[in-house]
Amino acid sequence: MAARSLGRGLGRLLGRLREGRAPRRAASGGSGSVPAAAPASYQALSAQAARDPAAFWGPLARDSLVWDAPYHTVCDCDLRGGRVGWFLGGQLNVSVNCLDQHVQKSPESIALIWERDEPGTEVRVTYRELLETTCRLANTLKRHGVRRGDRVAIYMPVSPLAVASMLACARIGAVHTVVFAGFSAESLAGRINDAKCKVVITFNQGLRGGRVVELKKVVDEAVKHCPTIQHVLVAHRTDSKVHMGDLDVPLEQEMAREDPVCTPESMGSEDMLFLLYTSGSTGTPKGLVHTQAGYLLYAALTHRLVFDYRPGDIFGCVADIGWITGHSYVVYGPLCNGATSVLFESTPVYPDAGRYWEMVQRLRISQFYGAPTAVRLLLKYGDSWVRKYDRSSLRTLGSVGEPINHEAWEWLHKVVGESRCTLVDTWWQTETGGICIAPRPSEEGAEILPGMAMRPFFGIIPVLMDEEGNVVEGCDVSGALCLSQAWPGMARTIYGDHQRFLDAYFRAYPGYYFTGDGALRTQGGYYQITGRMDDVINISGHRLGTAEIEDAMAAHPAVPETAVIGYPHDIKGEAAFAFIVLKDDAGDADVVMRELRATVASKIAKYAVPDQILVVKRLPKTRSGKVMRRLLKKIITGKAQDLGDTTTLEDPGVITEILSTYQKHRDKRAAAQ
């Protein structure tokens, strides 16, 4: 089944990786474990991908993907100008690669296991069924006016229909934009309007952690403000009847009338596959554009090699499809490889803290890929919730989205993985399309250090920059993390605003892609991500610009000024701390704070609501009126004695004032706990 997707090219590459393998070791992870003993096959391949990207990626693409027409140029990239193009001239269809090729060989193999909210009620979907559903959905979209190049919003939790919706768009050449089904109506409307979507696909309701989520109501509210929306396709997750208005189309009913066959559109390699919105340090969320061939190849190859995916494995990535992790490692990567991919609808603590591991036992999951925030939460419940279940099927554990602290890494490795599984901390971004730095692939048995992404994937060339824009050489050094060579999975532009794309990623360090993260290069040349260098924070693995929270709060008439800062949080990794200034006639501050929390939830999402709000008389500003957030961060992280240069402050007295207000607030919170 995976023979075609593995491809001769990759087969050869892997063959060469294997040739240099040392004997298999029992434990392939753990601090101080086995150093690389094998000949430099990983290194040789890395060197080849760096030296001659076209020679490396060209044969891989040719042999690993199913093409309608071959490409004539492997890559045409110039990071100085932010120009990225791969496999030019090639024609293919992503849904054919993810479905038809497997249906031809093994129609009854399982594509998806939908792990529904209610434990023990999982649903298995074969490749044949998924292709049929995708085609019916594609035909429904066509009947409702969706054409090649049109944008379709998907506001659905993880489910086979959501996956089929993505693939149906791919089949007809439409561009999907999945919006995480926890976003508010206003956030959804913003994304629909930016992308000028014609259609939204949603469910009547969702179910998560035993609770009903009113998805259709959110969509109803959103589309009131979306003039481009012509239809809302409504599927049913629960029996509850929802109001159906003029725009609404009952999805399952329509699909039942459609042909289960749909001829795939032949797409150019560089045609858009999807848009995915993500936060930056300024402005509204940006719609990153991913294209067809390069993205698919990169997602599939990283899926195989980072997780050591093998045919017959059950791949369990518990991310939501609303994020890039869900796109690349729930849908496109695994399906292109003919894998069985788990769709996790629930939460890590429903009905109890054993949910993940009970699922691992029941579904015999081979790879488990999740976020550190859930690990930190679960380890507080104790080991018995893990040990209760058989985890012998697990081979690889993966972590993504935020730094994994030492305690969480050790727990995942020792308790969940019984010191037996390979644990990969994977660093990447919405922009990168797939994993860029991870401990695997590597030489067999090469050491894995806790809490470190470590090794660049083939074709990824990390470079650290100092503040003056000079490349920092050597080990035990840190700097701004840039990538110096284009790779097939990277985003091509920001939808509707290429200049913003250039400014955000290619202006700070000309000739390099700037990630926004800082990193440390350790002895051995390994990379450790030290966190964002801009005003982006990461709450429970969800990326958010502090400016977005400030903008949402600015809508409150009693709050003329705010400054939002990220600070370390035990479970969430980071949480938001909001400093606010109130107008003289603002009234009861507690009421205003309650309203502010509600405003942020309704304008963005619940997870964006600041954990702490502190009223101050004024904010620390420079003479030119810029808020010095750096100083606020020092105050709330206990580093007020080391404020650095404060000479640009308009009035240095503001610091003592805020510090004393903050200390009172901190003491009050401590007393209340």
Q: Which residues bind ligand PRX (CB under 6 A)?
A: 278, 323-325, 400-403, 425-430, 453, 515-517, 529, 532, 538, 543
Q: CB-wise, 114 or 180, nearer to ligand PRX?
A: 180
Q: CB-wise, 402 or 447, nearer to ligand PRX?
A: 402
Packing angle between helix 41-51 and helix 8-19, nearest 10 degrees?
Answer: 140
SS3 630: helix
Q: CB-wise, 231 or 543, nearer to ligand PRX?
A: 543
Q: Which residues have a Cβ under 8 Å from the Cβ of 432 and sit 6 or more positions away?
A: 487, 489, 490, 491, 515
SS3 496: coil
> Rounded to the nearest 5 degrees, what angle is found at the Cα of 349, between the Cα atoms of 347 and 354?
115
Q: CB-wise, 338 or 451, nearer to ligand PRX?
A: 451
What is the helix (H) or strand (E) element at residue 74, kind and residue range? strand 73-75
Contact between 61 and 459 (Cβ < 8 Å) = no
Residue 638 burial (10 A CB sphere; 0-12, 13-18, 19+): exposed
CB-CB neighbours of 606 under 10 Å: 12
| Residue 154 structure tokens | 């998907």
Instruction: Name the one residue in this structure whose structure tokens are 């086995």.
Output: 34
Packing angle between helix 8-19 and helix 293-307, nearest 10 degrees?
Answer: 30
- Going by their DSSP bridges, the two strands 231-235 and 206-208 should be labelled as unpaired
CB-CB neighbours of 507 under 10 Å: 12
Q: CB-wise, 325 or 366, nearer to ligand PRX?
A: 325
Q: CB-wise, 204 or 278, nearer to ligand PRX?
A: 278
**Least distance to ligand PRX from the beta carbon of 429, Å?**
4
Q: CB-wise, 532 or 603, nearer to ligand PRX?
A: 532
| Residue 350 structure tokens | 């429903």
**Least distance to ligand PRX from the beta carbon of 65, Å?**
23
**Least distance to ligand PRX from the beta carbon of 525, Å?**
17
Alpha carbon dihedral 432, 437, 440, 444, in 10-degree steps, equals 130
**Least distance to ligand PRX from the beta carbon of 434, Å?**
9
Q: Cα–chain-centroid distance for residue 201?
A: 21
Q: CB-wise, 264 or 348, nearer to ligand PRX?
A: 348
**Least distance to ligand PRX from the beta carbon of 573, Å?**
9
Residue nearest to ligand PRX (CB): 430
**Least distance to ligand PRX from the beta carbon of 117, Å?**
23
Contact between 95 and 169 (Cβ < 8 Å) = no
186: closest CA among 606, 610, 612, 613?
606
**Least distance to ligand PRX from the beta carbon of 431, Å?**
7
Q: CB-wise, 155 or 427, nearer to ligand PRX?
A: 427
**Least distance to ligand PRX from the beta carbon of 375, Å?**
12
**Least distance to ligand PRX from the beta carbon of 426, Å?**
5
